[in-house]
Amino acid sequence: MNLLTKIVKPRLAFSQTKEAKKFFKTESFSSFLNNKKILLSTTNSNLSAEKKLINRISTSNYVAKLDLRNFQQKPDQSSKNSLWYILSGFVFMIGASYAAVPLFKIFCESQGIDINTEFREMGIEELKKKLSSLKKVENRLVTVKFVASTSADLLWKFEPCQEEITVAPGETALAFFKAKNMTNRSIIGIATYSILPFDAGLYFNKIQCFCFEEQRLDPNEEVDMPVFFYIDEQYTEDPKLEYVDNICLSYTFFESKGADDIQNLQKLVQQKV
């Protein structure tokens, strides 16, 4: 008997007993019961049903009792569920607002957007005014190291004239690079630079240099290229840069085909259009 009650106590969630009864009236289930000669009776039986029950007990082998209380959902359960959902949504929102701070920082760094410096972009006039009011900061010296490199197909000898230079923030400084064209044809080069570490690079301002503009070198010509720069005075006030005393400024030269080539390209583009 215990086995059979297990069989007829399926783990189905019916919201109401009517649905449970409907299920157990389906053909497949009733044929199963008939085959096994199991009589299904419910706890909510009335008199007429009981009579039918007595008649059928003699023909059936087993009597199984279906406890419909298993299929009744407690009436206040659904409101409790929604309460839990609302509470968990609330907690999730609080957690998301805390998590947003580092996530936003990572997003900005990957896109190269720096919120702090974007609004601080000064115009040329302001920068020139600032230059005239530059003041040297005492008690802090920064060593700027120089690295020079060329792209593989550029046959220039490009090197810094000094390995490093010790400079104080707020003071302008001059540095030199030497470049020699080792070939027998005139080459036009264009340079770019990078500063490490990244945080220090935000304070590094170049007044004048030789980057981003085409520089033509005749065959076997050697020139000195100066870089005139200064480090912003607020370098000393940045907590991230408290122990950063070394900055590396690295220049790289690439070959450029020159402005004539750009004109040819423009003609080609116009022809196609």
Contact residues toward other proteins (CB under 8 A) are 106, 109-112, 124, 127-128, 131-132, 134-136, 161-168, 170-174, 176, 192-195, 198, 201, 205-213, 215-218, 221, 223-226, 228, 230
Question: Which of 136, 202, 144 lies closest to 175, judged by CA?
Answer: 144
Q: How many CA atoms lie within 13 A of 81 on its CB side?
A: 6
Q: Cα-flanking dihedrals φ and ψ of residue 220, to 5°? A: 55, 30
Contact 194, 216 (CB under 8 A): no
Give the up-direction half-sphere exposure of residue 231: CA atoms within 13 A in the CB hemisphere. Answer: 28
Query: Cβ of residue 162: shortest distance to other proteins, in angstroms?
Result: 6
Q: Whole-angstrom Cα distance, residue 242 to residue 233?
A: 13
Q: What residues pair up with 146 in beta bridges, in sequence order?
A: 249
Residue 11 CB, nearest distance to other proteins (Å)? 46
The least CB distance from residue 144 to other proteins, in Å, is 9
State the amino acid at position 221 in one-letter form. E
For residues 150, 154, 157 and 161, what is the CA-based torsion angle, rounded to 10 degrees? Answer: -40
Q: Select 10 or 258, whichever has its Cβ closest to other proteins.
A: 258
Backbone angles phi, psi at 222, to 5 degrees: -120, 135
Give whole-number Cα distances, 84 to 67, 79, 97, in Å: 29, 9, 20
Residue the block writes with tokens 């600032």: 130
- Please count the CA atoms within 13 angstroms of the CA of 172 that sit on its side-chain side: 15
Task: Give the nearest distance from C-beta 192 to other proteins in angstroms.
Answer: 6
Q: How far apart are CA 94 and CA 19, in angstroms?
A: 41
Nearer residue to other proteins within complex by CB, 60 or 215: 215
The nearer residue to other proteins, 163 or 237, going by C-beta atoms, is 163
Closest separation between CB of residue 123 and other proteins, Å?
10
Of 33 and 202, which has the nearer Cβ to other proteins?
202
| Least CB distance to other proteins at residue 148 (A) | 15
Minimum CB distance to other proteins smaller for 166 or for 266: 166
CB of 70 to other proteins, least distance (A): 52
Q: Which is nearer to other proteins, 65 or 206 (CB)?
A: 206
Beta carbon nearer to other proteins, 66 or 225: 225
Helix, strand or coil, per DSSP, at residue 172:
strand
